[in-house]
Amino acid sequence: MQYGMIEIDGKPFYVPLEAVGRTADFLDKYAQRTESGDLERELIGVYTNYQLQFLPITNRAEYARLWDKLTEPVEFHDVVVPGENGAYGFRAYFSGVSDQLLLQRAERTYWSDLKVKFTAKSPARV
């Protein structure tokens, strides 16, 4: 099990990570083909977005704390995730938070397969 540290709004979460994926998404102000077939475009910038998948978190209190933070109804969060040279911090919104029921016994419920996508607010490169 590989533990990683992520930070959300200055609060660290030491959680088992199964996968950390990132994408470099190019956003255009406009992109259109001319009559000759040539492409004209104006690039706004390159946005670095992350998708994290967690291994089962056995500490129910920590899981609840992370779930509450990931589903908090605010527009943007400051996040720190594993990056090219250690840690990478950026401002993002969360989308696609999901998990699966693993086990329910008496009054205890355990969840697994937690996933979240962090979408950057601003370009990482212009």
Predicted pLDDT at 2: 57
Domain count, the chain: 1
Whether residue 21 lies inside any domain: the answer is: yes
Q: Does residue 107 surpass a pLDDT of 80?
A: yes
Domain CATH for 77: 2.40.30
Whether residue 126 lies inside any domain: the answer is: no
Average pLDDT over residues 83-92: 90
Whether residue 24 lies inside any domain: the answer is: yes
Query: Nearest 5°: CA angle at 108, between 102 and 111?
Result: 25
Predicted pLDDT at 3: 61
Percent of the chain with pLDDT over 70: 97
Considering the entire predicted model, what is its pTM? 0.87
Q: For residue 52, what are the domain limits? A: 3-120
Whether residue 125 lies inside any domain: the answer is: no
Average pLDDT over residues 115-120: 97
Whether residue 38 lies inside any domain: the answer is: yes
Whether residue 88 lies inside any domain: the answer is: yes
CA dist 57 and 116 (Å) reads 14
Predicted pLDDT at 84: 81
pLDDT band per the 50, 70, 90 thresholds, residue 57: confident
Q: Does residue 75 surpass a pLDDT of 90?
A: yes
